[in-house]
Amino acid sequence: MAGLPARSLKQFVDLVAHKSPACLDGHARRGDFSRWIGDTFHDHRLASDVREVEQRYRLGHVDDVRKSISQLVQERYQFSSESALSSPRKQSP
């Protein structure tokens, strides 16, 4: 994605919501999102869930990769894309 990289998963969700599907396509097809989440945040459960969405997207089974990935992150950390000032709370495994 062009521009500054996200420094948090909250910021990532906000950035993804404002990018075009075409901008996210290559990243989703290469598995960039799941790799970044696993490598940067060491949340391997979330990375695995995002990897599954990326795989389903490559196969044509996911229409809106933005919505699918954002929803996974928001559910995992219990925040919404509208609550820009709230900090994520990690759920117990």
Tens digits of residue pLDDT in 66-87: 999 999 999 999 876 554 333 4
* Residue 31 maps to a domain: yes
- For 31-50, write each residue's pLDDT tens digit: 999 999 999 999 999 999 99
If one counts the domains in the chain, the total is 1
Which residues form the domain of 23? 19-77
pLDDT at position 73: 95
| Residue keyed to tokens 């901008």 | 23
pLDDT at position 4: 66
Contact of 28 with 36, CB cutoff 8 Å: no
Extract long-range pairs of 16-23: CB within 8 Å, 24+ residues apart: 16/66, 16/69, 16/70, 17/66, 17/70, 17/81, 19/66, 21/64, 21/65, 21/66
* Residue 82 maps to a domain: no
Three-state DSSP class for residue 80: coil
* Residue 86 maps to a domain: no
Mean pLDDT of the chain: 85
